[in-house]
C-alpha cells in the first residue's frame, strides 16, 4: 500500500490540489482516456503511470492532482503536476511536468491549480511545503498553449535545448524533440504575469588598425557569444552615434567593432555611459599584427585582451577569447 509521506494540500476559488493517492487511480485513468487525442500530440499517454508513480512518492518526488470543486462528467481531475528531479543542498531545485484534462482544459482551472502547487513547492518545509528555491519546466516550441501557461504564471524563458527528449512528433513518429526551458524562483514568487527578465548583457569592444583582421575576429566573437555585431565600418561617419543607439536597444549587448584611436576615447567613453554601462567593466579586444606598421595602442578604458591577429586566429582561439571576455564583463540582471 502507498503511504503518503507528508500531507500537501491547498484550496483555491475553483479547484483544490493534493498529493495523489490510490483512490485517484480510477478517475485519473478516466481523465487521461478522455483527453488522449489532445495529449498524444506532445507526450505519451499512459493510463497506468500514476499507479506506478505512487510507490515512488517521497519528500523529493511529488505527484499532485488538481481537482475541480464543482465536478463535471465522469471525474473531477483537472490536471496532474509532477514535481520531480529534486536536487537539494545548495541547489534546492526541481523540474515539473504537467497535463490538463478534459472537460476542464482551456477554462483557467488548471492555471489556478498549478499556482497552488507552486505555492506548496516554494513554501518552507516548516510551513508544510517542499522548501524549493527554483522550479524549471521544458516545453516543445510548438506547444504554444503550454508555454503561454508558464508565462502567465511568471515563468521566464532561460534557454533552448536541442534534441532534449524522445517524444512523439507532429506525425506521431517518435524523435528527439527540441525544448525551450523556463523557470521561476521562490524569491520571485508570486510574480507578475508574463514578466520578462533581462538576461545577462555582454558588451565587447573589438579595436585595432585597418589590416589587423579585427572585423573577422569581431564577427567570430559575435557568433560565439550569440550577440549582435555593431560595426563602425558599415556606418556613415556622419551618423556614428547610431552605433550606441543600436547597442542601447539590444537586450543582450553586442560586439562593438571599429578603429578607435586616442582621439576617439571620449566618443567611446560617452557612448558606453549613454548605454548605462561602466566603461571600466567593458573588455576591449585589441587586435594587432607585427606585420602592420603603426599598430597604435588600445583605448584602455576597461580590461584589455590583446590578440596577435597577424598570425591567424583559429577556432580554439576564438572560443578562448569569448570565454575570457565573457568572464571579464560584469553580468547585469533584472528580475
pLDDT in tens, 125-163: 999 899 999 999 999 999 999 999 999 999 999 999 999
Given this model, what pLDDT does residue 109 score?
98
Given this model, what pLDDT does residue 238 score?
56
Round to whole Å and give the CA distance between 98 and 17: 13
24 Cβ contact list (under 8 Å, min separation 6): 50, 65, 77
**pLDDT digits over 97-120, tens only?**
999 999 999 999 999 999 999 999
pTM score of the predicted model: 0.85
Closest C-alpha to 214, from 331, 300, 296, 302: 296
Residue-wise over 259-295: b if at least 16 C-beta within 10 A, else e? ebeeebeebbeebbeebebebebbbbbbbbbeebeeb
The CATH number that domain 202-328 falls under is 3.40.50.300
Q: Is 165 left (phi over 0), alpha (psi -120 to 50) or beta?
A: beta
Q: Is 216 exposed, middle or buried (0-12, 13-18, 19+ CB in 10 A)?
A: middle
Share of the chain above pLDDT 90, in %: 80
β-partners of residue 210 are: none
pLDDT band for position 2 (cuts 50, 70, 90):
very low
The structural domains of the chain, with segments of one domain joined by +, span: 9-185, 202-328
pLDDT band for position 294 (cuts 50, 70, 90):
low
β-partners of residue 286 are: 207, 306
Average per-residue pLDDT for the chain: 91
Looking at the predicted structure, is the pLDDT value of residue 252 above 80? yes
Given this model, what pLDDT does residue 333 score?
37
Given this model, what pLDDT does residue 169 score?
75
Looking at the predicted structure, is the pLDDT value of residue 335 above 50? no
Please tell me the chain's helix, strand, coil percentages from 3-state DSSP, rounded to the nearest 5: 35, 30, 35
Domain 9-185 has CATH 3.40.630.30: yes
pLDDT band for position 287 (cuts 50, 70, 90):
very high
CA atoms in the 13 A half-sphere facing the CB of 117: 31
Taking residues 196-213, what's their average pLDDT? 86
Given this model, what pLDDT does residue 36 score?
95
pLDDT band for position 195 (cuts 50, 70, 90):
confident
Round to whole Å and give the CA distance between 283 and 295: 19
**pLDDT digits over 40-96, tens only?**
999 999 999 999 999 999 999 999 999 999 999 899 999 999 999 999 999 999 999
Looking at the predicted structure, is the pLDDT value of residue 278 above 70? yes
pLDDT band for position 295 (cuts 50, 70, 90):
low
Amino acid at each position: 500500500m502507498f503511504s503518503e509521506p507528508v500531507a500537501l494540500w491547498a484550496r483555491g476559488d475553483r479547484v483544490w490540489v493534493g498529493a495523489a493517492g490510490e483512490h485517484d487511480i480510477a478517475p485519473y485513468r478516466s481523465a487521461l482516456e478522455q483527453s488522449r487525442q489532445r495529449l498524444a500530440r506532445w507526450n505519451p499517454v499512459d493510463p497506468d503511470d500514476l499507479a506506478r508513480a505512487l510507490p515512488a512518492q517521497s519528500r523529493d518526488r511529488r505527484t499532485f492532482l488538481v481537482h475541480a470543486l464543482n465536478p463535471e462528467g465522469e471525474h473531477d481531475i483537472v490536471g496532474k503536476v509532477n514535481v520531480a528531479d529534486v536536487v537539494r543542498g545548495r541547489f534546492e531545485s526541481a523540474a515539473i511536468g504537467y497535463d490538463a484534462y478534459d472537460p476542464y482544459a482551456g477554462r483557467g482551472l488548471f492555471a489556478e491549480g498549478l499556482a497552488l502547487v507552486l505555492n506548496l513547492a516554494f513554501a518552507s518545509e516548516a510551513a508544510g511545503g517542499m522548501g524549493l528555491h527554483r522550479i524549471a519546466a521544458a516545453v516543445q516550441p510548438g506547444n504554444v498553449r503550454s508555454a503561454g501557461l508558464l508565462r502567465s504564471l511568471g515563468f521566464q524563458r532561460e534557454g533552448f535545448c536541442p534534441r532534449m527528449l524522445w517524444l512523439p512528433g507532429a506525425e506521431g513518429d517518435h524523435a528527439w524533440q527540441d525544448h525551450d526551458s523556463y523557470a521561476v524562483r521562490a524569491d520571485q514568487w508570486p510574480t507578475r504575469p508574463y514578466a520578462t527578465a533581462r538576461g545577462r548583457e555582454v558588451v565587447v569592444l573589438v579595436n585595432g588598425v585597418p589590416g589587423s583582421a579585427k572585423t573577422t575576429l569581431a564577427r567570430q566573437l559575435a557568433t560565439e557569444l550569440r550577440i549582435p555585431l555593431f560595426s563602425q565600418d558599415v556606418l556613415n561617419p556622419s551618423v556614428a552615434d547610431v552605433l550606441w543607439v543600436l547597442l542601447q536597444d539590444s537586450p543582450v549587448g553586442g560586439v562593438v567593432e571599429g578603429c578607435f584611436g586616442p582621439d576617439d576615447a571620449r566618443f567611446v567613453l560617452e557612448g558606453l555611459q549613454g548605454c548605462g554601462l561602466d566603461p571600466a567593466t567593458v573588455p576591449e579586444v585589441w587586435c594587432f599584427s607585427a606585420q602592420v606598421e603603426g599598430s597604435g595602442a588600445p583605448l584602455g578604458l576597461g580590461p584589455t585582451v590583446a590578440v596577435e591577429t597577424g598570425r591567424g586566429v583559429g577556432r580554439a582561439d576564438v572560443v578562448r577569447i569569448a570565454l575570457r571576455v565573457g568572464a571579464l564583463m560584469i553580468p547585469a540582471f533584472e528580475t
